[in-house]
Structure formats: C-alpha cells, structure tokens
C-alpha cells in the first residue's frame, strides 16, 4: 500500500510517471495486476442520478462539471459517485485493466457475515466522529445513512431514530457495532442500556478468510478495510 498526495488534482503526465516509477521499483505488470484506488470524496445514493454535480455541490465539494463520475453499483440498492476528474478516471482505466475504485464505506456496505446470514440486523460503524448505519435485510442493504457523533448520547439518538424510521422493535431487533470501540466505552454502554439486542460483532474471527499471526486483533475495528478483502 502506497500513499500519494500531490494535491487534489493530478496531471496526466505525473500519473504516468508515478506508475512508471513504481513499476520499476516493484517489477509489477500493471496491466495484469489488480489495483485498488480509494477516493475520500464520494457519496452513496439509493438511486442513479443525472444530477450528481448538484449533489456534490450540496455536500460542499468543488463546483466543477468534470469531477462527478459513477463508478460502482452496490447490489441493487446503492450507487457510489466519486468526486474525481473524468480525464483522470479514463487514463487510469485505459492503463490499468484490472483497476477497481473504492470509497470509505465500501467495506461496510458490501460486508457479508455468514454467521449473521440468517438475521436481519442494523450494522453501525463508528469512525472518528462519524456514524454509518446500514440495514442488512436478507443479506442485502436496504438502508444507508451517516450521522455526526460527538457525545455518547448521539449514538443512542441516531440508533433510535433509525429504529423508528425503519419500524424496528427496540426490544427485539438486533444491532451490531463496528469501529474503534469496546464494551467499557461510555458510548457503547449508554446505548446498550436502551437497546436490548445491541452488541459488538465478535464473530469476525470465525468468518473472514484470512490467517493472522496475532490472534487477539479485534477485527471489528477494521470492518471497512477488511470488507475490501472479501470481494
């Protein structure tokens, strides 16, 4: 994994030079190697839209007609749009035959846990001061939303809001929590006191098809990252 931060927009010549330098360094055949490109500027929508630029404007992204681009359809429910220059996208796709584009929530949206496959449940992921909620029904995403979380009460408020919006029973319906959080956290214990079937997903060690040399890694920390490896 390599980081590249030359600014928001890359010149085509600089991209070509960057790939050439790393090809020589790693001796990788880039036309046959699988390459994943991650964009931090994205939005996930429940339907396809012809007004992606207006959506990005509402989200505070740059007002530029050439930076909205549909790249991934997630199941039959969600579409991912990236705020990237079309010329850059086209250049990368023409030079990297096995390239795939990802967003920060791709792992959570595409995550399938065989241990939970018989359940319908709400997947809640905490990352910094951001909460992502997904309603997993029949192994498919039926709900997706993001909320700001700065205090322990915020997590409970948005969980209950999602329960109410989806018509779920607080005493029966299950929610599984992911992210950098443990049972001793006030954030977790506050919500646990009000939502009866609420827990951190501890089944991940048994479901992910990877071998880890460190057995006590809490895999629920890295659900977004590990979700990429499942596809």
**Residue from 41, 38, 79 nearest 62 by CA:** 41
Do 145 and 76 lie in a common domain? no
CATH number, position 193: 3.30.420.260
Q: Which pairs from 214-219 meet CB under 8 Å and 24+ separation? A: 218/182
| Cα angle value 115/158/62 (rounded, 5°) | 100
Torsion of CA 211, 125, 191, 138, to 10 degrees: -80
Do 198 and 117 lie in a common domain? yes
Enclosing domain of residue 139: 111-228
Indicate the pTM of the whole model.
Answer: 0.72
**Could you tell me if residue 3 is inside a domain?**
no
Last residue of a domain, one of 71, 103, 135: 103
End-to-end CA distance of the chain: give it in Å, rounded: 17
Q: What is the CA radius of gyration of the chain?
A: 19
How far apart, in whole angstroms, are the C-alpha atoms of residue 42 and residue 70? 10
Do 95 and 147 lie in a common domain? no
- pLDDT tens digits, one per residue of 133-172: 999 888 788 899 999 999 989 999 999 999 999 999 998 9
86-95 and 12-26 helices cross at what angle (nearest 10)? 30
Please, are residues 109 and 78 in contact by the beta-carbon 8 Å criterion? yes
Do 118 and 86 lie in a common domain? no
- pLDDT tens digits, one per residue of 81-117: 888 777 778 888 887 778 878 777 877 777 766 677 7
pLDDT of res. 86: 77
User: Other C-beta atoms within 10 Å of 83: how many?
Assistant: 21
- pLDDT tens digits, one per residue of 18-67: 666 666 656 667 677 777 777 778 888 888 888 888 888 888 877 766 67
How far apart, in whole angstroms, are the C-alpha atoms of residue 42 and residue 83? 6
- Alpha carbon of residue 178 to chain centroid: 12
How far apart, in whole angstroms, are the C-alpha atoms of residue 167 and residue 10? 46
């Amino acid at each position: 994994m390599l980081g590249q931060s030359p600014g928001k927009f890359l010149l085509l010549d600089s991209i070509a030079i960057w790939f050439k330098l790393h090809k020589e360094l790693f001796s990788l055949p880039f036309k046959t190697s699988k390459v994943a490109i991650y964009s931090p500027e994205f939005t996930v929508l429940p339907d396809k839209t012809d007004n992606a630029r207006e959506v990005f404007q509402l989200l505070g992204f740059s007002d530029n007609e050439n930076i909205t681009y549909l790249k991934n359809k997630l199941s039959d429910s969600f579409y991912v749009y990236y705020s990237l220059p079309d010329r850059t996208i086209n250049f990368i796709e023409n030079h990297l035959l096995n390239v795939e584009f990802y967003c920060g929530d791709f792992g959570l949206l595409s995550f399938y846990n065989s241990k939970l496959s018989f359940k319908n449940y709400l997947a809640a992921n905490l990352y910094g001061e951001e909460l992502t909620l997904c309603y997993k029904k029949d192994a498919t995403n039926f709900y997706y939303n993001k909320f700001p979380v700065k205090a322990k009460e915020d997590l409970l408020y948005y969980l209950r809001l999602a329960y109410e919006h989806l018509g779920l029973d607080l005493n029966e319906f299950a929610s599984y929590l992911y992210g950098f959080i443990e049972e001793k956290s006030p954030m977790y214990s506050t919500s646990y006191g009000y939502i009866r079937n609420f827990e951190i997903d501890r089944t991940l060690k048994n479901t992910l098809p990877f071998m880890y040399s460190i057995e006590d890694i809490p895999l629920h920390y890295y659900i977004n990252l590990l979700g990429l490896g499942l596809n």
